[in-house]
Structure 1
């Protein structure tokens, strides 16, 4: 988001009917960057929770129960899923604020979306959502996989 903010301030012109002099004064752009910032902070909170759960589980070593391992897996799945979805959303939404010229290959902003998409496909979000849903609906522990 920092690169998009710098680009927006340096290159983006406000929309003709926006009634403002600079793109960063456009209420639509302000609102979108507010949403993106909020979601990034939510990602950080979920990641911190997952790390804390993992550290607790790791410290238990052989005393770790199946239930504790499962709860840790759910926390990690929640952080991974929300972060992947947020990354995909932000890396698409930044163009709404930056404008059409920002899609030019010279800036390579598309690399953020490609990287986010690749990561989200290596450990499919759909299966993480399934695990989270099963946990909350029926207390079913997620399966142990190389990705959990």
Structure 2
């Protein structure tokens, strides 16, 4: 399925970003588990556990913020959809939720590689490129041009 064959509904867009957010959460948990149970501290740190490293700790704090921001934008988009808000506002909210969820997943994937030396395979997301969502949001906020439909024009 791609952007031209995928059903063009706000519900599908919301489900897609929710799935991406769930993958980010799962990857964060997987990385947390690895660092707690298997990771060794950097040899020059003088620490006995990798989980005591202030840089590792701050990395997880950063990831948690990415995920919480994505979750808040997801909830906002869902609320706007349920309350039958203005279609342009719904479309922008859905785009913001999709971008935040994708950024959270990318950050979690990068941290997984950085902290575990491994990278879990992630499904390609070529059916809905984010670059169009940035343009949709910016054009609406800057120029007042309402989005055309609920999917990217590819």
The answer, yes or no, to whether TM exceeds 0.5 is yes
TM superposition outliers: structure 1 runs of 4+ over 3 Å: 145-148
Task: Return the match for 2:76 from 49, 54, 58.
Answer: 49
Query: Which residue number corresponds to residue 129 of structure 1?
Result: 134
Q: Which one scores higher on RCO, CA 8 angstroms, separation ≥ 6?
A: 2
Distance (whole Å) between structure 1 residues aligned to residue 43 and residue 98 of structure 2: 39
Structure 1 position 30 matched with structure 2 position 35: no
Unaligned runs of 5+ in 2: 1-27
Query: Which residue number corresponds to residue 143 of structure 2?
Result: 138
- Which runs of structure 2 are paired with 1:1-148 in the superposition (5 Å)? 1-57=28-84, 68-98=86-116, 100=117, 103=118, 109-111=119-121, 114-115=122-123, 118-119=124-125, 121-146=126-151
Higher-Rg member (1/2): 1
TM-score normalised over the length of structure 2:
0.76
Distance (whole Å) between structure 1 residues aligned to residue 149 and residue 115 of structure 2: 41
Greater mean deviation of Cα atoms: 44-53 or 138-147: 138-147
Distance (whole Å) between structure 2 residues aligned to residue 145 and residue 136 of structure 1: 16
Distance (whole Å) between structure 1 residues aligned to residue 132 and residue 106 of structure 2: 17
Q: Compare the two structures and name the one with the higher helix fraction.
A: 1
Instruction: Summarize deviations over 1:59-95 as a string: whole Å, max 9, x none.
Output: xxxxx7xxx1111100110010111122112111222
RMSD across aligned C-alpha pairs, in angstroms?
Answer: 1.7
Distance (whole Å) between structure 1 residues aligned to residue 101 and residue 29 of structure 2: 17
TM-score normalised over the length of structure 1:
0.79
Aligned length, in residue pairs: 126
